[in-house]
Amino acid sequence: MPQKSFYVTTPIYYVNDAPHIGHAYTSVAGDVITRWHRQHGESVIYLTGTDEHGTKVASKAEANDMAPQDWVDKLVAEHWKPVLETLNVANDDFIRTTQKRHRRGVQKFWEVLKEQGFVYQADYNGPYCVACEEFKLPGDLLEGEGDELICKVHGKPVQLLNEKNWFFKLQGFQEQLIEHYERHPTAIAPASAYNEVLSFIRSGLSDVSMSRESVDWGVRLPWDPEQVVYVWFDALLNYITAIGYGDSQAEDAFADIWPADIHLVGKDILRFHAVFWPAMLMAAGLPLPKQVFAHGWLLVGGEKMSKTKLTGIAPNQISDHFGVDAFRYYFMAAINFGADGSFSWEDMHDRYHADLANGLGNLASRSLAMVTKYFDGRVPQPGSYTNADLALQDELVEAVANADAAMLRLDFSTGIARVRGYVESVNGYITEQEPWKLAKDESKQTRLATVLYCVMESLRAIAVLYAAVMPEACERLWADIGASGKLSDQTIEQVDRWGQLEPGASVSKGPALFPRIDKVT
């Protein structure tokens, strides 16, 4: 019986627009989690994908004179998949809600729930704008004269229409949900998100309609083809349809992967993941996800990013300028995962130079230059270690322990800060040991070799510790210091075992790892 795979998901992104750095942020976070767990020797499945159904997509397609399927195919191919490559995201699968495996799973799921008696038919009453041809939400409406409600888009009164819909018996799961969350206080993180969800559930749940008659672009109900599954009750199921739910050939695979270990979600969609989704799973008799983690929003100029205010930023605007690794590093290091974070070009520029160009990049550069100059480009053979050397080794042990603990609880900024602290220690160590002075004294060759060996070993460890966050730069560093074996095979457990670099190995000093970049504007 193989060990269960560690299963990480992002939300599936709604393809209505092109991806911005908010989407990229989530995808990168998931990727870092994935890579870190792989560095623990675990088998990891990382899933992302796109949500492609719903009225908005259909009408956008129509506006572009295309069939919905052609439209979403184009968006996914031209925008959503490329952005993952741009960011070096190593997802194992990409689910699309228009795929057959998904539609089949969705139909199976709701059929099961209906058979179990969790779905019933009733009237849905709601404000409807004839001009928009859509049912409206309270937020879409303005108050007019008397009880009249006005559609924001057309400024005309809406009608109260009703249609027959199928409802999911959410209400009945209220107590079970409370009980589950009381027993699993880390099932929703961070704690503020947990509290919010619990108080929401305690305030009372009611049944929700899970189908639409007025919508065409979606998954049809097997028992009532006039209706399609409401987008949320379609989209959430991606987490199980992607890994084989509903496919009789894939039952073993499904059992090996489900339940999810981490569902990453933006805080705006927490409720769907922490209330509706677990209730659906309970109804279907499936295990619940171990954790739903709600991260914050990226703020630009103190506000949530917005296209209309021109603060929406495409990921490649940043990665083209600073590089992919810097993109990943910045968002993981600068923002407390779970809280909102401010983005500004100036802050990005400052951190890039302080941490990467002047910090890690310069450390690699000065170290490799000395090994090249003093030892002909060969990793030197160390002599006996002094207290300063041993202190550096101890610091590595401590940094690894602290970084690992932080990364495993998804506290990326702290995890990275621990590694950065070690980088600073190594820079300090070099300054104190003054290898350039040792080099001028023929009798101190052994000491010089020992110092530089310690520095190279430190770089070896740093390459491993930063590999999840900055895969490309670390691969280069790994090769530059002459390390043997594959970087991807290096584990966190073994990283602080001193002395892995082989003396005599060839180092190479290439161009700067993180070149300085002129400030624009």
Q: So which residues are the catalytic ones?
A: 20, 23, 129, 132, 151, 154, 304, 307
Q: Residues 154, 156, 202, 373: which binds RNA (CB under 7 A)? A: 373
Residue 170 binds RNA (CB under 7 A): yes
Ranges within 439-498 binding RNA (CB under 7 A): none
Query: Out of 255, 339, 391, 405, which residue is the one contacting RNA (CB under 7 A)?
Result: 339
**Which range of residues in 279-287, 308-316, 350-358, 499-507 is near RNA by CB under 7 A?**
350-358
Per-residue HEC secondary structure of 301-339 comes to: CCEECCCCCCCCCCHHHHHHHHCHHHHHHHHHHHCCECE
Member of 280, 430, 461, 469 binding RNA (CB under 7 A): 430
- Under rule CB under 7 A, residue 177 binds RNA: no
What's phi and psi for 134, nearest 5 deg? Answer: -140, 150
For position 7 contacting RNA by CB under 7 A, the verdict is: no
Cβ(296)–Cβ(335) below 8 Å: yes
CA distances from 294 to 158, 182, 247, 313, 508 (A): 35, 18, 30, 21, 43
In the range 500-519, which residues lie near RNA by CB under 7 A?
512-516
Distance of closest approach, residue 466 Cβ to RNA, in angstroms: 13
- Residue 172 is encoded by which pair of tokens? 């009945």
**Of 179, 317, 436, 491, the one binding RNA by CB under 7 A:** 436
* All residues at 6 or more sequence positions from 467 whose CB lies less than 8 Å from its CB, including other chains: 35, 39, 474, 475, 478, 487, 488, 490
Q: Does 304 bind RNA (CB under 7 A)?
A: yes
Give the residue among 25, 54, 87, 491 at the shortest CA–CA distance from 293. 25
Query: How far is residue 40's CA from residue 189's CA, in Å, rounded to a whole number?
Result: 22
* Identity of the residue, 365 or 393, whose beta carbon is nearer to RNA in the bound complex: 365
**Residue 229 or 464: which CB sits closer to RNA?**
229
Could you tell me if 83 and 315 are in contact, meaning their C-beta atoms sit under 8 angstroms apart? yes
Which positions from 180 to 219 touch RNA by CB under 7 A, shown as an x/- string? ------------x--xx--x---xxxx-xx----------
Contact call for residues 278 and 288 (beta carbons, < 8 A): yes
Hey, CA dihedral for 133, 136, 139, 145, is it positive or negative? positive
CB 341 within 8 A of CB 334: yes
| 184 vs 309 by CB, closer to RNA | 309
CA-CA distance, 9 to 233, in Å (whole number)?
Answer: 17
Task: Give Rg (Cα) of the chain.
Answer: 27
Provide the residue count of the chain.
521
Q: In this chain, which stretch among 29-37, 181-189, 427-435, 488-496 interacts with RNA, using CB under 7 A?
A: 427-435
Burial (0-12, 13-18, 19+ Cβ within 10 Å), 428: exposed
Least distance CB 207 / RNA (angstroms): 8
Which residue lies nearer to RNA by CB, 101 or 349? Answer: 349
In the bound state with RNA, the residue whose beta carbon lies nearer, of 35 and 267, is 267
Find the shortest distance in angstroms from Cβ 34 to RNA.
Answer: 20
Binders in 37-76 for RNA, by CB under 7 A = 51, 56
Q: Between residues 421 and 494, which has the closer beta carbon with respect to RNA?
A: 421
- Do 233 and 301 form a contact (C-beta atoms < 8 A)? no
Q: Does 391 bind RNA (CB under 7 A)?
A: no
Q: Which of 264, 288, 370, 464 binds RNA (CB under 7 A)?
A: 370
The torsion angles phi and psi of 58, rounded to 5 degrees, stand at -60, -45
Residue 442 burial (C-beta neighbours within 10 Å; 0-12, 13-18, 19+)? exposed
Q: How far is the CB of 479 from RNA (least distance, A)?
A: 15
As measured in angstroms, the least distance from the Cβ of 115 to RNA is 22
Binding to RNA in span 129-168, by CB under 7 A: 135, 137-139
CB of 102 to RNA, least distance (A): 13
Minimum Å gap between C-beta 244 and RNA is 21
User: 3-class DSSP state for residue 144?
Assistant: coil
Binding mask 258-277 for RNA (x = CB under 7 A): ---------xxx-xx-----
Q: How far is the CB of 513 from RNA (least distance, A)?
A: 4
In the complex with RNA, which residue's Cβ is closer, 373 or 497? 373
Q: Which of 162, 381, 431, 506 binds RNA (CB under 7 A)?
A: 431
Burial 155-169 (b: 16+ CB within 10 A, else e): eeebeeeebebbbbb
Of 38 and 332, the one with the shorter C-beta distance to RNA is 332
| 354 in contact with RNA (CB under 7 A) | yes
- What is the SS3 assignment for 96? strand
Binding mask of the shown chain, residues 82 to 121, with x at each position contacting RNA by CB under 7 A: ----------------------------------------
Distance CA 324, CA 13 (A): 21
CB 86 → RNA: shortest distance, Å?
20
Question: Does residue 308 bind RNA (CB under 7 A)?
Answer: no
Q: Which is nearer to RNA, 20 or 108 (CB)?
A: 20
Considering the complex, what minimum distance in angstroms separates the CB of residue 494 from RNA? 26
- Bridge partners of 161, per DSSP, are 126
Query: How many CA atoms are closer than 13 Å to the CA of 499, on its beta-carbon side?
Result: 7
Q: Could you tell me how many residues of this chain bind RNA (CB under 7 A)?
A: 75
Q: How far from each other are the two terminal CA atoms of the chain, in whole angstroms?
A: 58
Going by C-beta distance under 8 Å and a sequence separation of 6 or more, which residues neighbour residue 497?
none
